[in-house]
Amino acid sequence: MSAVVGTELDGGARLQALVTGPSTRVVAYDHGRPVTRETFESHVRAVAGTLPPAAYAVNLCEDRYRFIVALAAAALRGQVTLLPSSRAPAVVDAVRVEHPDSICIGDGMLDPAPPGYHRLPDTLPALDGPPLEIDADAALVIGFTSGSTGQPKPNLKTLASFVASTAQNLAALDDLLAPGITTPLVATVPPQHMYGMEMSVLLPLLGDLAVHGGRPFFPQDVARALAECPRPALLVSTPVHLRALVQASVDDSSFRMPPLAGIVSATAPLPAELARAAEAAFGCEVREMFGSTETCIFARRRTAQDDAWTLLPGVRLHPQPDGTLVDAPHLAAPVALADIVELLPDARFRLCGRNADLLEIAGKRASLGDLTRRLLAVPGVVDGVVVQLDADAHGVARIAALAVAPTLDADAILRVLRTQMDPVFLPRRLRCVASLPRNETGKLPRATVIELLQG
């Protein structure tokens, strides 16, 4: 299967369809009702006519179908959609300070509502008209990094770049999709996140997939959403949600997952043990995707069977002393990432960690990612993270950790870690907490982790 895309020239501008395929193609399921391309476009035209004038729009819609309608409506008005790393009011306010000529679009009551808040009606209006096309090279969205390694940074994306990256993603998922028929898609990740944008917004707009309008969170909600689809669906999720689904299948005898076309995971490293457990529990392949807000997805692997990644078509990596340059058809120029890689034959590579994660203490080396995996391997630890604190007044940057372990205390965890880690890498501060402050995609903003460690 390939993306259904096409462009044409018009007065020097390259026009690109916002949604592709026949007018009868189902692009979404809105509260269980199939929505065709024709109906979707009529909703977009009508909503676009109601939007206040502005240069930017912050899309806060919870319902995924309404998010996509609002995104397309803003694009039709020439408004660039801003995607903050979180929908927390303080994060949204910070983005709007940098983009003052902006409105907020949502689908629910907000208290307090942000200035310039435009709420979509419960029943979307409809308006006939020509197919939806916009300038392919104009800014479509600005996505912001999660802040897991520092301050969020803006990244501009055009529809043309998304068309190219979506073609790669469709090729990477081709053998998981139903041949000759629309594949349903259910996602637990928010559409405001770049991974959610790529997998649950662009795939149904530019490929033969139809997205479920909800964003299920708890395992029973995920199973219910999958059961509402007319045929086995592709589940787009994260390691945090997958762990909860696998645990539910073990602990709850009433929990049943419908048949799946496959599972896609991203946003955080997926442990091979969890990937194997999910494949065994749900009878389908778990395919992990690798990318970033800056690059979009550029590699894939079947984590249950392989620790090496396969590059998507046309992508090339160029190792650097402090990271890696990513060169891809959808990128205007190579993008530098802090990830250290080892190139392998046949367009494959092995991830060796992030430059910022690599530690060297007393002539010995380790990575924060490996130390975190060792913490999570302690029996009784259900979640955790190892970090390196900022240097103190003496220039010493100590190792610290947070752990969620209801039946253990810090001393018990450290006793086990002493048998698993070199003493120089043992956390000098280990705090047990009820839960980690993960965001909607399961990531841990560094500033929040440090604040919790110091609390």
Give pLDDT tens digits for 147-167.
Answer: 555 566 789 999 999 999 999
Q: Is the pLDDT of residue 229 over 80?
A: yes
Q: Is the pLDDT of residue 178 over 50?
A: yes
Grade residue 112 by pLDDT with cuts at 50, 70 and 90. Answer: confident
The per-residue pLDDT for 7 is: 44
Residues 33 and 240: their CA atoms lie apart, in Å, by 29
The per-residue pLDDT for 5 is: 43
Percent of the chain with pLDDT over 90: 68
Q: Which residue pairs from 122-125 have beta carbons closer than 8 angstroms and sit at least 24 positions apart in sequence?
A: 124/43, 124/46, 124/47, 124/66, 124/69, 125/43, 125/46, 125/47, 125/50
- Show Cβ contacts of residue 123 under 8 Å, excluding neighbours closer than 6 positions: none
The per-residue pLDDT for 46 is: 98
Residues 13 and 160: their CA atoms lie apart, in Å, by 12
Mean pLDDT computed over 91-114: 89
Instruction: Of 236, 253, 324, 252, give the one whose Cα is nearest residue 287.
Output: 236
Residues 36 and 22: their CA atoms lie apart, in Å, by 9
Residues 433 and 444: their CA atoms lie apart, in Å, by 14
Alpha-helix runs per DSSP H in 228-315: 239-251, 272-282
N-to-C CA span, the chain: 52
The per-residue pLDDT for 352 is: 84
- Mean pLDDT, the chain, rounded, equals 90
H or E element at residue 161: helix 159-173
Grade residue 389 by pLDDT with cuts at 50, 70 and 90. Answer: confident
Output DSSP code: residue 425.
Answer: G
The per-residue pLDDT for 329 is: 92
Output DSSP code: residue 69.
Answer: H
pLDDT in tens, 330-370: 999 999 998 889 999 999 999 887 766 777 676 677 788 88
3-state SS of the chain: helix, strand, coil percent to 5? 30, 30, 40
The per-residue pLDDT for 355 is: 66
The per-residue pLDDT for 11 is: 52
Q: Is the pLDDT of residue 9 over 50?
A: no
The per-residue pLDDT for 78 is: 96
* Range among 19-28, 248-257, 330-339, 381-390 rated most confident: 19-28
The per-residue pLDDT for 90 is: 81
Tokens 């039946």, located at residue? 407
- Residue 5: phi and psi, rounded to 5, are -130, 160
Instruction: Of 218, 262, 205, give the one whose Cα is nearest residue 236.
Output: 262
DSSP for 268-280? S---HHHHHHHHH
Cα dihedral sign, 101-81-74-70: negative
Mean pLDDT computed over 159-186: 95
Instruction: Of 143, 199, 193, 141, give the one whose Cα is nearest residue 170.
Output: 199
pLDDT in tens, 195-223: 999 999 999 999 999 999 999 999 999 99
- Residue 414: phi and psi, rounded to 5, are -65, -35
pLDDT in tens, 274-321: 999 999 999 999 999 999 999 999 999 999 999 999 999 999 999 998
Mean pLDDT computed over 235-239: 95
pLDDT in tens, 38-86: 999 999 999 999 999 999 999 999 999 999 999 999 999 999 999 987 7
User: Considering only the top CATH level, what class is 7-307?
Assistant: alpha beta
- List the structure tokens of 183: 């594949």
Strand segments, DSSP code E, in 271-418 are 286-292, 296-301, 309-311, 316-320, 323-327, 335-337, 339-344, 348-354, 358-361, 364-367, 383-388, 399-404
| C-beta separation of 250 from 243 below 8 A | no
The per-residue pLDDT for 12 is: 61
Cα 36 from chain centroid?
Answer: 25
Output DSSP code: residue 433.
Answer: -
- List the structure tokens of 135: 């300038």
- What is the bridge-based pairing of β-strands 102-106 and 117-119? parallel
Domains of the chain by residue range: 7-307, 362-454
Secondary structure (3-state) at 26: strand
**What architecture is domain 362-454?**
2-Layer Sandwich (3.30)
The per-residue pLDDT for 2 is: 40
- Show Cβ contacts of residue 152 under 8 Å, excluding neighbours closer than 6 positions: 84, 85, 91, 144, 145, 146
Residues 414 and 427: their CA atoms lie apart, in Å, by 8
Mean pLDDT computed over 438-454: 82
